[in-house]
Amino acid sequence: MNISVSALKKVVIQKFAAEGIDPETAAQVADVLIYADLRGVSSHGVMRVEHYITRLKAGGITKNPKFSVEKRGLNHLVFRGDNGFGHVICKEAMDETINIAKEHGSCTTIIQESSHCGALGYFLEQATKENLIAIMCSQTDSAVVPFGGKEPYFGTNPIAFGFPTNQKPIILDMATSNVALGKILYAREKGEEIPNTWGVDAQGAPTTDPHQVKSLTPFAGPKGYGMALVVDVLSGILASAAFGPHISKMYGDYDQKRNLGQFLYVINPAIFTDVEQFKASVSQMINELHEAPTAPNFSQVMVPGEIEQKSSEEKMEKGIDLPEPVYNYLVGELDS
């Protein structure tokens, strides 16, 4: 079911407005969700609207949160989100972090009392548009088996990096699991099988049936497992939040505030080098990679985020394809 970007944003805002969410908050959440859909990361897109509204109605998301910012020293912040929408919390926290990094060369921000925030790349692009480097990570609830284990411990625990260039920014935004949990949910919505490397069933055996997936697997085995641990230390324990299996579930206990933590680190390259030269060198790197000899079945070497950028450009023109249940939830009820 295809829908234009402008029409999709309108119906998403209407869905949140119907629940008493103010227009500015609704528009910000819609922006982050549609950003993911444009980039082909539908697992973090508008398919989540129904879930957020379920949690909002149950009381697990604060409808009118009161944010607070505490400065620690010259360039360290603690941003408390009062368990509002993570999409708005992280956007405002990144704005504050950018301002400090511009003035003092860098800024580290710990976000407390947050909720699911969507695709991290959205917030990194806030920084790269200001010629800044950004790193971000977020804890998530337990869903991934540790390397060598049978039961899940860490979440998909994404980590992301953003670099400004003279072209489009380099955005590396990745889960520390083989795939994000949302991709399993998306496959369920579409009635599709999944690769047997994405998840395991209740007995710990690989499965191609998304409905049988009980846990995900870490990318690259022990390496992904190690990165998941790092993310939980930085965005969870450092934020005085729960960690691993102690984090409240995204799908369940909808009346409970999630109190998630996120970690931001923004660097002003001007502290170390000429900014224009930095961007020119990164752009040169991109161009050289594009010209690198290719392996069989590849037409060009690409940089992180480039496939998603191309997807975004195409979908801005052609619209976004949604699974029928998601389309019906967003559009059908409004039409009826």
- Residues annotated as part of the active site: 116
Concatenated DSSP letters of 60-73: SS-SS---EEEE-S
Whether residue 139 contacts residue 232, with contact meaning beta carbons closer than 8 Å, is answered with: yes
Q: Take residue 2 and report the two structure tokens written for it.
A: 């295809």
Q: Report phi then psi at 284, rounded to 5.
A: -60, -40
Q: What ranges in the chain are assigned the alpha helix state H?
A: 5-17, 23-38, 49-58, 86-104, 121-128, 181-190, 222-235, 275-290, 306-318, 324-327, 333-335
d(CA 305, CA 89): 24
In three-state form (DSSP H/G/I as H, E/B as E, the rest C), the secondary structure along 136-185 is: EEECCCCCECCCCCCCCCECCCCEEEEECCCCCCEEEEECCECCCHHHHH
User: Measured on CA atoms in the order 49, 51, 54, 59, is the torsion positive or negative?
Assistant: negative
Q: Give the three-state DSSP class for 27.
A: helix
Q: What are phi and psi of 24, to 5 degrees?
A: -65, -45
- 31: which residues sit within 8 A by CB, 6+ positions away? 9, 87, 122
| Residue 114 to residue 91: CA distance in whole angstroms | 12
Determine the straight-line distance between the first and last CA of the chain, rounded to whole angstroms. 17
Candidates 270, 263, 262, 274; CA nearest to 103 is: 270
